[in-house]
Each structure stands twice: as C-alpha cells, then as structure tokens.
A and B are shown apart, each in its own frame.
Chain A
Amino acid sequence: MSVVSINGLTKTFPKGNVTALQGIDLQIEPGEFVSLIGPSGCGKSTLLRVIGDLIKPSAGTIEVNGKSAHQARLDHDYGMVFQDSVLFDWRTVAKNVALPLEMLGWDRSKRKARVDEMLRTVELQGFGDHYPWQLSGGMQMRVAIARALSFEPALLLMDEPFGALDEMTRERLNIELLDLWRRMESTIVFVTHSISEAVFLSTRVVVMSPRPGRIAGVVNIDLAQPRSADTREDARYFEHVTEVRELLRGIGADEHGSVLAEETV
C-alpha cells in the first residue's frame, strides 16, 4: 500500500482566483525519500500542506496510509518540519521535543526517556535544558527534526528545512537526515529549491512547474545507498543534477525563477 496516494488533485485559492495546483497524480511508497522541487510559485509547499491536511484540496483525492489525509492527521501520522525551526521560545529544548508526546498523552517518564533518546540521536545530549535562543541555527533545526521524529510518524513532511542554513551546515545535516531516514525506516516528502540537495537526498525527485502548479517530470535517483560526502563527487550524481536542471530549464525556471541562480553546483 502506498503511504501517499494523490489522484487528480487540484487546489484553487478563492482569493485572486489562483490555481496553485492542477491535476497532480503522485504515489509515494513506504521508505521512499521524495523531493518536490520547482521555482517559487510552483505550489510545492502547497502540495506538502495538502498532504499534511493543513490545506483542503479543491478537487481530487488524497489518501495517506489508506485513510483520508484528515484522518491521518488525527491519527498522528505526520511529523512536520518547516523552514524556520518553529521552536517554542518559552520551552527548553527537551520540552520542545516532548511537545508532540504531550499531545499524544504520554506520561512524564515515557516522555523523558524518548526525549533523551531523540537528543542522543541528533547529537544534542546535554542541551535538553537550554532554551532555543542559546543554540545555533543548525542545532535548532536538529531539535525540530528530533521533535518531528519523536513519535515515529508514518510520514515526515519537510518544507525547505535547511533553506536558511549555511552551505556547510546544510551538507552536514543532509547526511545526518539520510542516516536518520535509514535507521528509522521512515518515508519522507521533502520540499527544496536546491537541485543538488534534492538529488543527493532523494530516491525520487518530482519537478514541478509554476502557474498553475503541475508535475513537469519525475527523476528516479539510482545513486547507491548509503550516501556519503563521496556521493557528491560521483559522475552519476552530476548526471542526475543535469537531468533535473534540464527539466527545470524546460519549464522556464531559469528565466524567471531564482532557482538556478541560487544553485552552487
């Protein structure tokens, strides 16, 4: 059974009559790492939010683990990570990670055990009593990832999580994320506007075109697992990067999107 099954999905925003997504069909299988890439305004974040039941579709169906997206949300099937780490300033690192566990009604000792385990997983042991402002941007993002994974959701939805980080931190967190993905056997949908990041992380890259947002093409990334820093020097990696870039060029993303200009590959 697919983790995510989207059929004929359309999303229109009544304000300004904008068609954000049109005719989206997408199946995501268990254990996949799928990136959504495209220029600004292609609806990739909207698609992620529709999957996560934060936005209702205008037409079409979406099923998550065989249920409606709404039921999946009520069943706590989603872990979400946003571009901004969205930590709660008034909560310590440990209490931020514990937040979803509180919502699930876990008791204190069970919460503490899991929080300790998660902080070890993201290499932040000893930082539990710190407040978010005492951490660097990369560390804050690791807290957000620990929080999203703490309750072992069926599906991890990530909306440009490393977009605001510097290149070195981003590359390191890419490797850490792949490590977590493998160990926790999770399924990830990842929104990015970095071609290199999409290719490096994913098993599949979905290229989207803007106005209205559509799937322009899908690139299967057959790079060997586990991936490492060496993967970025693999000839096959560059071929995939070129393939994704050609697809983006085909939809005219290099003309009015900032996507390619920001690329460092």
Chain B
Amino acid sequence: MTVVAQPAPRGSVIASVRTKLTDWVPAIVVFLLAIVVWQLSIQAFHIQKFLLPKPGAIVSAFWTQRGTLWSAGWLTLKEALGGFAIGSGLGIFVAIVLARFRRLGDALMPIAIAANAIPIIAFSPIFNAWFDPLSPAPRMATAGVLCFFPVLVNTLRGLTSVRPAQVDLMRSYAASELDIFRRVRVPTALPFVFSALKVATVLAMIGAIVSDYFGTFGSLGITIKNSVSLFDFETAWAAILMASILGVLLYVAVSLAERFALRWDPTRQERGSA
C-alpha cells in the first residue's frame, strides 16, 4: 500500500499565509497600476471631472465626508442585509420543502428558473407602492426577491444531487428520511448553497442601491443621485466607493463562512500542502 502524503502540520500556517500573500501580489500590483494610470491620464488628457474625477479627489472626498457616507452606507447595508437574510432564508426553506415533495418541486422548478431570468429590479417602484416607502420594507423586498430565486434554484439542485449509493448505504442502516436529510442531503447541498449566497450578496447590494434611487432619504443611492445632479461628482464617486467597500465586505464575510463550513472540501484545499 502506498503511503499517502500527510496533511501539512499546524506549524505551517504562517507559511501558508505567506504563499497566499505572494498569490495576491500580481493582483495588487495591477490594481495600483490602474489607479496610477487613471490619475495620470486625467492630467495628461484633461478629462473633465464629470466624466471621471481623479482617484485622489475621490479618496479625499471620501475622507472628509466619511461620517455622512458611513451613515448613508449603514442605512443601505441594513436594507441589503435584511433583504439578503429574508430572501436567502426563504429560498433555502422553500428548496427544502420542494426537495421533500419532489413532484411539487418538479412542477415548480421550471417556473423558478424562468423567474430567475426576470429582471426583478424592474419591480422596485412597484414595491414602493406595496410597502410603506418611508420604511426599509420596499428596498428589503427588492433585495430579498433578487436573492430568493438563485438561492432557491441552487439549494434545490444541491439537495437533490446526492449520490444514490450514499442513500442506499444509509438505507442499509435503516436510516430515516430525516437521517438521510441531515447526514447526506445537507452536506451535499452546502457547496451549492454557498455559491448561491455569494451571488446573493452582490444582488442584495444592487437591489438596495437601485431601490434607493427612488428616494430613500439619507441612503447611499440617493447620495449618488443627488451629488450627480449637483455636479458634485467627487461625492458621487466617494459614495460609490463606500458601496463597493460594503459590497466586498459582505461577499468576504460569506466567503469566510463558506471556507469554514466546507473545510473538508478537497477542491478548496491548497494543493501545495497535501
């Protein structure tokens, strides 16, 4: 029997962090170069600031208005988070129900896939009519509906793509449907669920900001819209920067949860260590 490589010992955590940093170097270099090219080309070609402000000006606007930008960002983030939680939660719940009642699932799956292709963001003004526009409810609804369908479709696909042999094995132990659900279906579905949740974070931010455009007082969306109409393009771009930072943070949070939940997954291991 061949002896198989042992997993990397605990002491190599620092080494693995270092490899990870080296992996990031090219991306960081390209990013910084792009910023420099941006700054220089604005000076070289005299680009008007309503087309594109200098990165330096955006950062300084961001810094001087960090208080208002943060409170606007927090408002929008709460809408996105609420929509994300409600939409993804419902998506997972409905997927579990449809996985249990397969015939119902088979009937509804084509509708869900079709609904997934609808530009739900177009419904945003309608939600303002359905819910109290002064509450965060219509924005959360937009973000929620945007998150719901991809999470539903992916989770259902995950729950139903179990290997038949694993189910047979569980049956040979006289396992109940609940045992099979907990010990086979849920672990099999997790990678599907997490890829959907990552997409959902992006959709939730888009849903919240675009709905903000229809008039959420003190939100990021309205800050961007109003600054543009006042020709304050640095502030508009600073608000976009805030939106980007929050969006990335949300995505990273879900990615970290994914890495923790799927630490057994061989496709997510660093190849160098094993």
**Partner of A78 from B172, B262, B266 at Cβ < 8 Å:** B172
Q: Are B1 and A136 in contact (CB under 8 A)?
A: yes
Within 8 A of B (CB), among A64-103: 73-76, 78-80, 82, 84, 86, 88-92, 99-100, 102-103
A89–B172 touching, CB < 8 Å: no
Which of A90, A104, A172 makes the CB contact (< 8 A) with B187? Answer: A90
User: Does A133 have its Cβ within 8 Å of any Cβ on chain B?
Assistant: yes
Most A CB contacts (10 A, CB to CB) among B1, B5, B172, B175 go to B172
Question: B145-163 toward A: CB 8 Å interface, digit per residue (1/0)?
Answer: 0000000000000000001
Chain B 40-71, CB within 8 Å of chain A: the 1/0 string?
00000000000000000000000000000000
Q: Judge if A238 is at the interface, Cβ distance under 8 Å.
A: no
A139 touches B4 (CB 8 A): yes
B174 near A74: Cβ-Cβ < 8 Å: yes
CB pair B1–A169 under 8 Å, yes or no, is yes
Q: Evaluate contact between B174 and A76: CB separation under 8 angstroms.
A: yes
Chain B proximity of A164: nearest CB distance (Å): 13
Chain A residues positioned under 8 Å from B5 (CB to CB): 134
B1: chain A residues at CB < 8 Å are 136, 138-139, 169, 172
| A18 at the binding interface (Cβ < 8 Å) | no
A130 adjacent to chain B (CB < 8 Å): yes
In the complex, A103 Cα to B170 Cα: how many Å?
9
State the Cβ distance, B231 to closest chain A Cβ, in Å: 55
Chain A residues within 8 Å of B163, by CB: 86
Bound-state Cα–Cα, A15 to B175, Å: 27
Check if A52 is an interface residue, CB within 8 A of chain B: yes
Neighbour of A88 across the interface among B4, B175, B187, B265, CB < 8 A: B187
B174 to chain A, nearest CB (A): 5
B24 adjacent to chain A (CB < 8 Å): no
Which B-chain residue is minimally distant from A142 (CB atoms)? B1
Give Cα A16–Cα B170 distance, bound, in whole angstroms.
28
Q: Does A181 sit within 8 A of B, measured CB to CB?
A: no
Answer whether residue B7 sits at the interface, using C-beta atoms and an 8 A cutoff: yes
> Shortest beta-carbon distance, B161 to chain A, in Å?
13
Q: Is A135 an interface residue (CB 8 A)?
A: yes
Within the assembled complex, what's the spacing in Å between the Cα atoms of A151 and B41? 73
Q: Which of B166, B169, B265 has the most chain A CB within a 10 Å cutoff?
A: B169
A-B pairs, 9 with minimum CB distance:
A133-B266, A103-B173, A80-B172, A90-B187, A90-B264, A86-B165, A74-B174, A100-B173, A78-B172
27 CB contacts below 8 A, A to B, read A54-B172, A75-B174, A78-B172, A80-B168, A80-B172, A82-B168, A82-B169, A86-B165, A86-B166, A88-B183, A88-B187, A89-B265, A89-B266, A90-B187, A90-B262, A91-B264, A99-B173, A99-B183, A100-B173, A102-B183, A103-B173, A104-B173, A133-B266, A134-B274, A135-B4, A136-B4, A139-B4
